[in-house]
Structure 1
Amino acid sequence: MDYDYQLLHVVALLTLIAFGGTSWTIEACSPNELEALMSFKNGIQKDTSGRVAKWIGQSCCDWEGIVCENATSRVTQINLPGFISTDTDLFQTQMKGLISPSITLLTFLEIIDLGGLVGLSGTIPQTIGLHLPKLQKLYLYGNNLTGPIPESIGELPNLQELALQENRLSGLIPVSLGSLKSLKRLLLYSNQFSGTIPDSLGNLMNLVELDVHDNALIGNIPNSVGEMQALEKLDLSNNLLSGKIPSSLTNLTVISVLYLNTNYLEGTVPFPSRSGEMSSLGFLRLHNNLLVGNIPSNIGYLVSLQRVSLSNNKLEGALPSSLGNLVALTELYLSGNFLSDQIPKSVGQLSQLIMLNISRNLIEGPLPQEMSSLQNLQTLDLSFNHLNLSAIPKWIENMSSLSNIYFAGCGIQGQIPDFFQRTNSPIQELDLSVNFLSGNIPSWIGSLNQLYKLNLSRNSLYSDIPDSFRNLQDLGILDLHSNRLAGTIASAFDIQQGVLGGSLKFVDLSANNFSSGIEEIGGGQCGIQFLNLSHNLLKGRLPNSIGKQNSLKSLDLSFNELGSNLPEVLGNLTSLERLKLQQNHFTGKIPNEFLKLLKLKELNLSNNLLEGEIPERKPLIDFPESSYSGNKGLCGKPLSPCKV
């Protein structure tokens, strides 16, 4: 203990004696610690929480965010997290400035928590591992830090948690991290780290969680990862890793979460060869890779699996019947592979299954009757397979929890079956697109009062939109494009009226034979963002009420028979990013109000009867000649200059 520190305590003791009691104390920091904290304070330019501004005087142990050891009054914690919780709220504060290297002078520190301080920048002090032997937790996540992880960080013998995620850190992952024998959590995700995953990480026998997703890591997954026997969560997704998944991963008998998605991994998926290995594995996510080969038949040994995602790889062959052994499974994602043959009957044993997605494969029909036993299933997606169903199986009606049904591109023929109106669970999403359905759109669809998404596009449906659609108060997505529908579009736009409050966000009625109802598209203000009525037979003029649809981002009315002047109120649609009005009969000038469409990225007014000078300002002058061609009366940039 230095001389000044001793002197302060002597003065405090004499004061206590003089006043004859112990009710009044003085606790001052050592000069070194006081200097370190004041240097940290001076590096902060802005602190919206006001905590650092209150650091005044000598008694730093009383400062907000500072914790000291009672016996020695030495600083053990800097607790200034970005998220502050009150009795009624949780809010995030902001701190701009640099991390002062002087914090390494606080040699008794056990916890540094500066996580979530948006705007805190600079680098991690290079000597952080040389002066903080007691440090157990280092939280610097969610800041704006740059530069590498110092090699010296491997000199922290008591470090248990290292959280550096969500910064702009770069460089290599230090080999020295493998020396942190006490480390339980290593979180480096959402940075800019490059290079390989060091083999030395296999030395971290106490590591429970390793997460390095969303970086630029390359090379193979090291075999040493399989030596981390305490590992429960491994996330290596969204990198540039290559090679095969090492067989050593099967050594992780207590791992509960495995993420390897969105890399450039190649090779086959190794699984344990006997029952009991990896028996605690709860989450297996290998999606968005280049994995090849079959799904191993011994996947059924992983009896604790709850969520499995192997989507978007190059897996092939039949689904193993051992899938039926995964009785705890709640989610199974196998989409975007080359899986073939039929769905095994054993899938019906997955009584806890909530989500089943096998879309975009080569699966063949028929579907096994045993699937009707999946009474907890909420979402079933079998789209774009080789099922060649003559009809949708009637047992769908008896699945008590099924509310999201996707049978797009399954070769379904005939009319839309009426048993959908009798399902035990209210249908929320129904996708029967890209099939061979014919006949009318049945009016009973209007009784599906919880329907949010309806996609019947690319079929051979005819007649008009039933008036009962007005009852679909929760409808947000309506896609009927590429059918043979006719009549008026009015029923579709009545959906957005009254009590709805603008639930309808997406409407695509393009490539049909609608001829009337254009005046309805501006009726009442709503939250519609995407509207496509192109390639129809619509006539008349655009109503001025269209200017109320200020949520519109994409409006396509091309290839119709619309006429008259372009409404000036289109300029009120300031959220528009895409406006397509080509191949109509619009006349008159381009309104100057179009200059208010500053977010416009795509514009096509070609092949109309427009005339006059194109308003010569952004954004209109930024579009190519093709946006205006085919209007004989138009002139000005980017077309030919107007004649004086």
Structure 2
Amino acid sequence: MCSKIILVLMVIFIVTTGGETCHPNDLKALTDFKAGIRYDTSFRLEKWNGSTDCCKWEGILCDNSTGRVLELNLPGLLTLYDAPAQTVMDGQLSPSIALLSSLEVLDLGEVLELKGQIPPLIGNLTKLRKLLLDTNKLSGPIPDSIGKLPKLEELCLKENYFSGSLPFSLGSLRSLKSLDLSSNKFSGSIPDSMENLTDLESLTLQENFLTGHIPNNIGNLRALKELDLSNNFLTGGIPFSMNKLNSISSIFLGNNQLEGEIPFPSSPSQMSSLAFLRLNDNHLTGRLPLFFGHLKSLQRVILDNNQIEGPIDSNFSDLKALTMLYLSRNRFSGKLPRTIGLLSQLQFLDLSYNMIQGPLPLEMSTLTNLQLLDLSFNHLNLSSIPTWLVELPSLFQLHLAGCGIQGEIPGYLERPASILQELDLSDNHITGSIPAWIGSFTSLYLLNLSQNSLASKIPDTVTKLGRLGVLDLHSNRLWGPLNLVFQMQSSGGLTYIDLSDNSFSNDIEQADMGTQQGIQYLNLSHNFLHGKVPTSVGRLQSLQTLDLSYNRFDSVLPESLANASILESLELQNNLFTGRIPDAFLKLTKLKELNLSDNLLSGQIPFGEPLINFPKSSYSGNKGLCGKPLATCSPHSVYPYIT
């Protein structure tokens, strides 16, 4: 009788559910997953109820024949109403996910707030092809069982808080094509077992704490197209086996501690597909390999901050696809080859801080696509700026600091005024005045004429530089009023002003500094400024560094300065400031550097952080000052009218 009742109930259940039910393991895995999520701004999990048929739930794909779950696909970046939308899923990743034994795709990438660890039993998901958990807050190690996923093709765990060593078992993922573990906290060495991943096309481990050498047999990864190991703590040299990577299109090894010479290419036929090469910020030595010019697919080369030496060979002219060449801060020498003019696609050329000699080849005038040119601090001895250089039609960043330029700023420099965004002629021997036509540089963001011998006023036309963000004129012989600098109507907002080491001598009390709300760095030191510091300085809400030292200010310290609440460095030494240190200065909680020495300040130093944390030298040379960190105040020094 009971068996008949059970049979009837089963028939009724099958009819009402259409014969589609969720496997108990799958149902538990998904309901436990949902229970671990506190909120989901996409509201997809909200629809996971009212039915045991999990195959109808959003983000779930099942096998039509077995009914088992094949995909759990809930990425955070969605398309809603034909527009991209970032959703958030906050909660813990349930270990029950490991019960989805038929799962082929697990995509919980970019849901931002997912926490927890990869389940130790992740190896049970033997059919998994894609595991995407990137851009979350997951932590802990990668379980050793990850190596039990023979069909895994894509593993992306980037931008989390994973830590520990990379498991040796990663080398068992023979089907893996893409491995991205970047922007985590992994440490230890790169396991030698990685050489077994012969189908791997992309290996991305940048921005971790990896140490040791690049595996010697990394050249076994013959299918590799992209390699990024940058921003770690790797040491040693670049393995010679890397010249076997014939399919490689990108190599990024910058910001490590790699040593030795660049060993590739060692023959004309090797690495013919290489498009992006970044080896910056290492300790590479020697010369560029003989066959470097045969890497004809190269588009971007970034080798700056190494110790590479020798001339820039003429075989660079074969790199017809090259758009970016960064060789700064090395030991390149000799003259630039005339064949450099054959790099017709070149847009960015940075050769600064080398030992390259002049003259510049006239053939560079054919580089009509060049947008950035930085030749600063070489042995060029230009004497003057070549006329053909300023006629380059696409040039918008020109840096010629420390190139031996002499004489006045030439009038023909006005020609590219409409497009030039950065002009750096600092540390030369330029004389005369700042020309009035400087105001026609309407696109200019950076103007650096510092460390020259300019002797003039700042022209009124500087107020027309509507996009200026950086103004550096320090160490010249400039004089005249400064008020107009703070009258500039910069749409982008001035962030950096350095007018130190000049001969400005006026009273700036009436200067309305509040019009430049974006100033972060302001240096007017080593001039002859006097009177009061403008109260408007307190309206500089972005100010981080203020240096007014070595002037003749003879007023009290402006209490309004305490309103610059994020100030980190305040240098007011060697002036004639009088009176007390305002109690309001205790509001400067971000202050890391303070120097009020050699003034005429008096009274007790306000007691409290950060003022009491600075050394005596910050207050020395003020005979009337007392209190921590100086000597204890006497009643007379606190109340000077007591007799």
> For the superposition of Structure 1 and Structure 2, which TM-score range results when normalised by the shorter chain?
over 0.9
Q: 2:179 corresponds to which residue?
A: 186
One of 508, 512, 519 as aligned partner of 2:509: 519
TM-aligned CA deviation for residue 271 of structure 1:
2.4
Paired residues for 1:590-605 under 5 Å: 590-605=581-596
State how far apart, in whole Å, the 1-side matches of 2:478 and 2:330 are. 35
Q: Residue type matched to 1:510 in 2?
A: S
Equivalent position SS for 1:420: helix
Change in 2 beyond 3 A, CA 1:151/1:7: farther
TM-score (norm 1): 0.93
**Structure 1: gaps of 5 or more residues:** 1-5, 16-23
Change in 2 beyond 3 A, CA 1:252/1:522: same
One of 532, 536, 560 as aligned partner of 2:527: 536
User: For residues 278-314 of structure 1, what are the alpha-carbon distances to aligned partners after superposition, in whole Å with 9 as ceiling and x for unaligned?
Assistant: 1111101111111111012311111110000111111
TM-aligned CA deviation for residue 641 of structure 1:
2.1
8 Å CA contact 1:266, 1:291 repeated in 2 = yes
Q: Residue type matched to 2:307 in 1?
A: K
8 Å CA contact 1:164, 1:188 repeated in 2 = yes
Q: 1:586 corresponds to which residue?
A: 577
TM-aligned CA deviation for residue 165 of structure 1:
1.5
Q: 2:207 corresponds to which residue?
A: 214
Equivalent position SS for 1:348: helix
State how far apart, in whole Å, the 2-side matches of 1:400 and 1:157 are. 55
Q: 1:630 corresponds to which residue?
A: 621
TM-aligned CA deviation for residue 91 of structure 1:
4.4
Paired residues for 1:278-317 under 5 Å: 278-317=271-310
Paired residues for 1:336-375 under 5 Å: 336-375=329-368
User: For residues 456-484 of structure 1, what are the alpha-carbon distances to aligned partners after superposition, in whole Å with 9 as ceiling and x for unaligned?
Assistant: 11111111111111111111100000111
State how far apart, in whole Å, the 1-side matches of 2:322 and 2:620 are. 58
User: For residues 546-578 of structure 1, what are the alpha-carbon distances to aligned partners after superposition, in whole Å with 9 as ceiling and x for unaligned?
Assistant: 222222121111110112222221122112122
User: For residues 236-278 of structure 1, what are the alpha-carbon distances to aligned partners after superposition, in whole Å with 9 as ceiling and x for unaligned?
Assistant: 1122222221222122212111111111111111223443321
One of 70, 92, 95 as aligned partner of 1:98: 92
Q: 2:539 corresponds to which residue?
A: 548
8 Å CA contact 1:261, 1:289 repeated in 2 = yes
Report which stretch shifted further, 6-15 or 473-482: 6-15
State how far apart, in whole Å, the 1-side matches of 2:492 and 2:597 are. 32
8 Å CA contact 2:487, 2:512 repeated in 1 = no
Paired residues for 1:237-636 under 5 Å: 237-423=230-416, 426-495=419-488, 497=489, 500-501=490-491, 503-516=493-506, 518-526=508-516, 527-636=518-627
Q: Residue type matched to 1:14 in 2?
A: V
State how far apart, in whole Å, the 1-side matches of 2:285 and 2:372 are. 27
State how far apart, in whole Å, the 2-side matches of 1:68 and 1:591 are. 71
What percent of counterpart residues are identical? 56
8 Å CA contact 2:150, 2:174 repeated in 1 = yes
1:63 pairs with 2:57: yes
State how far apart, in whole Å, the 2-side matches of 1:523 and 1:268 are. 52
State how far apart, in whole Å, the 1-side matches of 2:355 and 2:104 are. 56
State how far apart, in whole Å, the 2-side matches of 1:540 and 1:120 are. 58
Q: 2:109 corresponds to which residue?
A: 115
Equivalent position SS for 1:14: helix
Equivalent position SS for 2:96: helix
State how far apart, in whole Å, the 1-side matches of 2:11 and 2:531 are. 95
One of 70, 75, 81 as aligned partner of 2:69: 75
Change in 2 beyond 3 A, CA 1:380/1:566: same
8 Å CA contact 1:493, 1:520 repeated in 2 = no
TM-aligned CA deviation for residue 54 of structure 1:
4.2
TM-aligned CA deviation for residue 200 of structure 1:
2.4
TM-score (norm 2): 0.93
User: For residues 342-364 of structure 1, what are the alpha-carbon distances to aligned partners after superposition, in whole Å with 9 as ceiling and x for unaligned?
Assistant: 11111110000000001111111
State how far apart, in whole Å, the 2-side matches of 1:390 and 1:7 are. 101
Change in 2 beyond 3 A, CA 1:243/1:44: same
8 Å CA contact 1:551, 1:575 repeated in 2 = yes
State how far apart, in whole Å, the 2-side matches of 1:571 and 1:241 are. 45
Report which stretch shifted further, 97-106 or 418-427: 418-427
8 Å CA contact 1:76, 1:109 repeated in 2 = yes
State how far apart, in whole Å, the 2-side matches of 1:392 and 1:358 are. 17
Q: Residue type matched to 2:386 in 1?
A: P
8 Å CA contact 2:431, 2:455 repeated in 1 = yes
TM-aligned CA deviation for residue 88 of structure 1:
6.1
TM-aligned CA deviation for residue 7 of structure 1:
10
Q: 1:148 corresponds to which residue?
A: 141
8 Å CA contact 1:402, 1:425 repeated in 2 = no
Change in 2 beyond 3 A, CA 1:273/1:502: closer
State how far apart, in whole Å, the 2-side matches of 1:297 and 1:520 are. 64
Q: Residue type matched to 2:200 in 1?
A: L
Equivalent position SS for 1:579: strand
**Structure 2: gaps of 5 or more residues:** 1-6, 636-643
Q: 1:127 corresponds to which residue?
A: 121
CA RMSD of aligned residues (A): 2.1
Change in 2 beyond 3 A, CA 1:96/1:523: closer
Change in 2 beyond 3 A, CA 1:151/1:611: same
8 Å CA contact 1:297, 1:321 repeated in 2 = no
TM-aligned CA deviation for residue 62 of structure 1:
2.9
8 Å CA contact 1:522, 1:549 repeated in 2 = no
8 Å CA contact 1:43, 1:97 repeated in 2 = yes
Change in 2 beyond 3 A, CA 1:34/1:371: same
8 Å CA contact 1:397, 1:424 repeated in 2 = no
8 Å CA contact 1:285, 1:310 repeated in 2 = yes
TM-aligned CA deviation for residue 128 of structure 1:
0.9
State how far apart, in whole Å, the 1-side matches of 2:483 and 2:350 are. 35
8 Å CA contact 1:281, 1:304 repeated in 2 = yes
8 Å CA contact 1:76, 1:108 repeated in 2 = yes
Report which stretch shifted further, 321-330 or 147-156: 147-156
8 Å CA contact 2:573, 2:598 repeated in 1 = yes
Q: 1:3 corresponds to which residue?
A: none
Report how many aligned residue pairs link the two structures: 627
State how far apart, in whole Å, the 2-side matches of 1:561 and 1:30 are. 83
State how far apart, in whole Å, the 2-side matches of 1:8 and 1:327 are. 76
User: For residues 162-207 of structure 1, what are the alpha-carbon distances to aligned partners after superposition, in whole Å with 9 as ceiling and x for unaligned?
Assistant: 0112222223222222222221100111222233222322222221
